[in-house]
Amino acid sequence: MEAFNAMTAATFLADHAFLPDGWSRNVLIRVDAQGIVEGVEPECSSVGNAERLAGATLPGLPNLHSHTFQRGMAGLAERRGPAHDSFWSWREVMYAFVRQLSPDDVEAIAAMAMAEMLEGGFTSLAEFHYLHHAPDGAPYDNPAELAERIAAAAARTGIGLTLLPVLYSHGGFGGQAAGEGQRRFLNDLDGYLRLHEASAKALRGLPGSVLGVAPHSLRAVTPEQLKRLSEAVPEGPVHIHIAEQVKEVEDCLAWSGQRPVAWLAGNAALSERWTLIHATHMVAGEVASVASSGAVAGLCPITEANLGDGIFEGIAFLGQKGRIGVGSDSNVEITAAGELRLLEYSQRLRHRGRNLLAGHEGVSTGETLYRAALQGGRQALAQPVGAIAPGYRADLVALDTDHPAFASGRPADFLDSYVFGAGSQAVATVIVAGKPVVSDGRHRGRDPIVRRYREALLRIIAS
């Protein structure tokens, strides 16, 4: 756990590096003892004792939305239910799974998910953390018991962490009572603020970590709570689930006469602080209001496909200069390139065309999506990530360009070859804050992390 916290200065030489203005060769990257890039020198002829990064080096992609505990459910919710199977029936399976988790299980599963994120090309994470209490719903003596477990997993794996403790108080629009399956999630606002304060303490030993807030959804908080929360925590990132499901839209219309995104835009001061997770079901006016607000649309295409959520209005949103990032959400499959690939492919299926999110003729789709997700992810996590440039954290992903997908050998093709070809198979070396955490495609702590994860899952399944 301590191994990835120690900081030392480092120097790397990348064969090719994706810099803010594009690809460059023989790039010397100097990193200070805090893990921040202090110098970048393209076409460098003097390398000293720099560590070579072979192939193509990218800024690591931020993962702007995850529930790490759901990694333990991957493959366990794929049997058809007795009626129409949907997000809502999946949610009941999730509630049953949650009832079995101990704090040790939460930490073990989180570490597994985070290690796989790093192996999959993500180097930082916004954890939307809504599992707070004991299985019977009673608060732990330490309200941040499970937040501490998330922080411990981040320390063990070396991933950058933005922790988003979730305010979850109700079971439906208008302050409806929560159900039995939600009891581990629930706090009133005062209890939540105590949790938030305790979560800040949980992050003190984790360099570079950020604390934000997350009203779970308009189903789970009241307008008054949303207002009071913004007053109580006036700074830092704010994330919220919004308009993920058609039923959610219908229920919001019945409650308020407005669609969820329209209600939020009219009742909250949307700004660059905000990340709207999913925002799947938007009409034209909602697309325009979110795009113009500077808020990020947090997209999780693999989970959205797995749950049958729907398809984001990608062409319209990006056409209005909307900001996007990607996340792994339920962690049913963890791959940075795969999220971007499915984002584009979903648009192709809906509109029956190709390279739809590139925007203009001759533009690389892979590069367009990767740049957008770097910028949106950096904003959503409120961390200095997403660029190989002075002042940014040295989060680097080196791709093995000996993989057959990179046979053209042309840097202009690298991101398309990664996103639409090799994917995570090409991830060779991953560095976070100047420290290597993945070598030869494997997390350096993989074996004990996997062993602990297996032990947890076998106990959970047997119980």
Q: Which residues contact 22 (CB under 8 A, 6 or more apart)?
A: none
Pairing of strands 323-326, 296-299: parallel
Residue 331: how many CB atoms within 10 A of its CB? Answer: 27
Residue 391: how many CB atoms within 10 A of its CB? Answer: 9
Q: How far is CA 101 from CA 97, 294, 456, in A?
A: 7, 38, 9
Question: How far is 317 from 276, CA to CA, in rounded Å?
Answer: 13
Q: Which residues contact 116 (CB under 8 A, 6 or more apart)?
A: 71, 331, 334, 443
Question: How far is 434 from 328, CA to CA, in rounded Å?
Answer: 24
User: What letter does residue 7 receive in the DSSP assignment?
Assistant: -
| Identified catalytic residue from 329, 395, 400, 413 | 329
Question: How far is 28 from 42, CA to CA, in rounded Å?
Answer: 6
Contact 171, 186 (CB under 8 A): no
| Identified catalytic residue from 278, 281, 403, 443 | 278
Q: In what order do the strands lie in the sheet with 274-278?
A: 238-242, 274-278, 296-299, 323-326
| Amino acid of residue 382 | A
Name which of 175, 162, 301, 201 is nearest 244 in CA terms: 301
SS3 297: strand
In the block, which residue shows the tokens 């399944």? 461
Question: How far is 375 from 386, CA to CA, in rounded Å?
Answer: 7
Contact 417, 408 (CB under 8 A): yes
SS3 385: coil
Q: How far is CA 314 from CA 23, 292, 408, in A?
A: 26, 15, 29
Q: Which residues contact 190 (CB under 8 A, 6 or more apart)?
A: none
3-state DSSP helix/strand/coil % of the chain, to nearest 5: 40, 20, 40
Largest interatomic CA distance in the chain? 67
329 is catalytic: yes
Q: Which residues are catalytic?
A: 278, 329
